[in-house]
Structure 1
Amino acid sequence: MRIRDYFKAACGESKELRWLLIVIAATGLVCFLWQIIAALSGLESGIFDSWFALSSDFKVVMVRPWTLATYLCLHYSVLHLIFNILWLLCFGSILTRFHPGRLLLQLFIGGGIAGGIFYIVSASFGGAWPGSYITGDSAAVLSVMSACAVLMPGMPIRLFLFGEVKLKWVASVCILLTIFGGGGSTAVSIAHVCGALWGVGQGWYVKKGKFIFNHKFHNNYTNLSVKHKSHNPSRAAQAMNTLDDHRRLDELLDKIRLSGYDSLSEREKIELNHISSRITK
């Protein structure tokens, strides 16, 4: 129970982050078990890769398009799995503290798919050996890292032996180590770079105040003012609270559009996250 409580505390209020970590850890365990079973029974372990890892051959990907997503969940190195989980937990919890959990999913899935697409493109130009595969969610994790660096560059991160370091420098070092220290093919490095660039682009998009949920909020506000006319005191109170949330949200979004996301105070960022979570439930 203590481990479960610690896990929930580390992830904060984000269900999206918790489920991402659970899925990645569970599928990593399945990969390790398959390696053991294949070694003991004499089965060909590559059968698993052919169905779920992302091939460098475009024709194979066309037959198995789901591998653009499933390759993110495959890990055959314990260290690879552990470090990706830790980095995702660290930067994912920071991101979801101030932004909706859906942004985390958009960054993770979008960065992973973007990295996979450019892996295939690079491999077709000789960036990888024929018949090779890519596995792991490094491109997706780098997307989350780089978005955090764009959205909250000055946030202090306390590191052992180094003290407080700005988030942008921590993220930059992690990204460079992953891209240039992975020891993979050129196509793998390009996949990692594209994952990071996806995060930069999405972070810039959000920082400019172009919230993807803004129109949804506006539509909900319009519908609320028309539909929620009730003599039931509890429903009327709930409608009034929701209306106040929309008004406050509009104020915060207007401030972001005029002065950018960094113009918000830490309290306003937390308030924005909480209001977004309440409205999107």
Structure 2
Amino acid sequence: MTSIFDDIRSAFSKGNNALHQLIFINVVVFAVLIILRTVMTLSGSGGMFAYLMTFLSMPSNLQLFAFRFWTIITYFFTHLEFFHILFNMLNLYWFGMLIREYLGDKRLVNLYVLGGLAGGLIYLVSYNTIPYLQLRAEGSFMMGASGSVIAIMVAAATLLPNYTFNLILIGPIRIKYIALVMVLLSISGATGGNAGGNIAHLGGAILGFLYVRQLQRGSDWGRPLQAVLGFFRGIFQRRSPLKVAYKNPNRPYTSSASSSMTGTSNIPGNPSQLEIDQILDKISVSGYESLTKEEKQKLFKASQK
């Protein structure tokens, strides 16, 4: 048991570990709910467990949502079915690795949270405005990270459309086609038994596409979210007064090199390999967030070559 708590502490104490933290939170919540459901059902309190879930899953009823507004966040960390969480976490890991590598941990968190919020909002609006769904809205609740995950999938496909995954029994396939299939399946399922979940997928997909497009134009929609998260991190974490200096003797990064790159940012064309190497060195020393707007744009151009 001590080892488990040590693993938990280690997962949340490390920097640049957002992907594993998101997966870890989902898995822990799933495990707790499954144990709780089993215990309560065996003790004859299954109805109480179902009532408890209404405080975590998102209702389609506007009046109920007004009293449980927090569910627009808790729903995308909540799963009760094994295959539901399995496929969500696998897709989160595969596509989240790409987002983490090219955009950094903070933007991965932005996409996960904003995708979930977008999915929840379109779910709520759809079930209260579309006649077909209004007839099925009574007692309808939504849970699961699918909206957040498809936001990350579409974002990765927008950023790196020709990146290839090797799928079992299929072979190599570009991720833009994987994302397209997921969107089409969500559209086709919008009138089925899981209409709410599929509508949330579409909200997440739209958010993922627009987020990357705006990021490529120099606008990060996740800045308000990071400001809120930074506020809470500042409350619960102490900042170390020590500063660590790093120097790579083979290809050192210096502030002058960064300045020279910034000074030539308006020159058209793709960046040189030397510039990309210097940017990557800077990321390894100071993290993605230390890059200037021009350096990020150069990294975008290089990733699309």
Category of TM-score, reference length = shorter chain:
0.7 to 0.9
The alpha-carbon deviation at position 236 of structure 1 amounts to 9.2
1:277 maps to what in 2?
287
Would you say how many aligned residue pairs link Structure 1 and Structure 2?
249
Q: Summarize the alignment of residues 174-189 of structure 1 with structure 2, pairs less than 5 Å apart.
A: 174-178=182-186, 180=188, 183-189=192-198
SS in 1 for 2:64: helix
Matched, 1:124 2:128: yes
Q: Contact between 2:73 and 2:117, CA under 8 Å: does it hold in 1?
A: yes
Change (3 A) 1:42 1:210: same
Separation (CA, whole Å) in 2 of partners of 1:235 and 1:143: 36
Deviation of 1:242 after TM superposition, in Å, equals 6.7
Structure 1's unaligned 5+ residue stretches are 215-233
Distance 2:200 2:221 in 1: 25
Report what 2:88 is aligned to: 84
Question: SS at the partner of 2:79?
Answer: coil
Aligned mates of 1:19, 1:49 — CA distance in 2: 23
Please say if residues 242 and 279 of structure 1, whose CA atoms lie closer than 8 Å, have aligned partners that are also in contact.
Answer: no
The separation in 2 between residues aligned to 1:62 and 1:249, in whole angstroms, is 51
Contact 1:154/1:166, CA 8 A, preserved across alignment: yes
Percent identical: 26
Matched, 1:19 2:21: yes
Structure 2 distance, partners of 1:48, 1:79, is 22
Cα deviation for residue 248 of structure 1 reads 6.9
Q: Could you tell me which of 35, 38, 48 is aligned with 1:36? A: 38
Q: 2:56 aligns with which of 45, 52, 56?
A: 52
Distance (whole Å) between structure 1 residues aligned to residue 186 and residue 97 of structure 2: 20
Query: Taking structure 1 as reference, are residues 242 and 90 closer, same or farther at Cα in structure 2, changes over 3 Å only?
Result: same
Judge conservation of contact 2:115–2:208 (CA < 8 Å) in 1.
yes
Question: For residues 249 and 70 of structure 1, what CA distance do their matches in structure 2 show?
Answer: 43
Q: Using the TM superposition, give the Cα deviation of residue 104 of structure 1 relative to its aligned residue in structure 2, in angstroms.
A: 0.7
- Label 1:105 to 1:33 Cα distance change in 2 as closer, same or farther (>3 A): same
Give me the whole-angstrom Cα distance separating, in 1, the residues matched to 2:222 and 2:286.
9
Work out whether residues 58 and 142 of structure 2, in 8 Å CA contact, stay in contact via their aligned partners in 1: yes
TM-score (norm 1): 0.74
1:69 has 2:69 as partner: no
Root mean square deviation of aligned Cα: 3.8
SS of the equivalent of 2:172 reads: strand
Matches within 5 A, 1:123-272: 123-125=127-129, 126=131, 127=133, 128-178=136-186, 180=188, 183-210=192-219, 243-244=255-256, 246-247=258-259, 250=262, 254=265
Contact 1:119/1:187, CA 8 A, preserved across alignment: yes
Q: Is the 8 A contact 1:249 1:272 kept in 2?
A: no
Confirm or deny: 8 A CA contact 1:146 1:199 kept in the other structure.
yes
TM-score normalised by L of structure 2 = 0.69
Measured against aligned partners, the alpha-carbon deviations of 1:162-186 in whole angstroms (never above 9, x if no partner) come to 3322121122223434554585443
Which amino acid counterpart does residue 255 of structure 2 have in structure 1?
L
- Residues 154 and 205, structure 2, Cα contact 8 Å, conserved in 1: yes
Number of the residue aligned with 1:98: 102
Structure 2 match to 1:217? none
CA, structure 1 residues 74+159, in 2 after alignment: closer, same or farther (shift >3 Å)? Answer: same
Label 1:264 to 1:135 Cα distance change in 2 as closer, same or farther (>3 A). Answer: farther
> Comparing both structures, which one devotes a greater share of its residues to helix?
1
**Contact map agreement 2:147 2:200 (CA 8 A) in 1:** yes
| Pairwise CA distance, 1:206 | 1.8
More displaced, 117-126 or 190-199?
A: 117-126
Give me the whole-angstrom Cα distance separating, in 1, the residues matched to 2:104 and 2:260: 16
SS in 2 for 1:165: strand
